[in-house]
Amino acid sequence: MKRIIVYAQFVFAVLRVIANVTEFSDPENEAFRVDALENLHLILELCGDRVKWHAKTILEMLTRLLYEFTKNQNQKLLQLSTSAFKKTAILAPDEFNALFESIEEVSVNDKFDSIVTETRQALEQK
């Protein structure tokens, strides 16, 4: 049991670092944001179904990033955040549905809305 607690604290700490690195846009340091999102992908791969315990934190962070990246058209960051968003939703469908159950009532922008719709459709096919 102690191992699980240490593991959860480690993942939470790493996610907090990723959230902090990706929070602020700085054109000179966009490479840091790319690295942070690539590390998030690695966490998603390594954690597998245990992601559900951190899904709310991950999805909230990625939602904020998707909103930003769909507006500023940074393709590399948009691609990384979109794939992490979809992967998190697939690994933690209940948590995704809880957060996005009434998203159809709100329109953010066309690209953002299409990403959420595609993710919902992918979950329905599983």
Domain ranges of the chain: 2-125
Quote the CA–CA distance of 82 and 115 in Å, as a whole number: 7
How confident is the model at residue 49, as a pLDDT?
A: 83
Separation between Cα atoms, residue 15 and residue 13, nearest integer Å: 5
12 pLDDT band, cuts 50/70/90, is confident
- CA dist., res. 20 & res. 74, Å (int): 19
- Per-residue pLDDT reduced to its tens digit, 59-109: 999 999 999 999 887 899 999 999 999 999 999 999 999 988 866 666 778
Query: Assign residue 24 a region: left if phi > 0, alpha if psi is -120 to 50, beta otherwise?
Result: beta
Q: How confident is the model at residue 6 (pLDDT cuts 50, 70, 90)?
A: very low
Interatomic CA distance for residues 71 and 65, integer angstroms: 10
pLDDT of residue 105: 65
H or E, element range at 32: helix 30-47
**What SS3 state is found at 12?**
helix
| pLDDT at res. 13 | 86
Task: Look at residue 48 in the predicted model and tell me its pLDDT.
Answer: 85
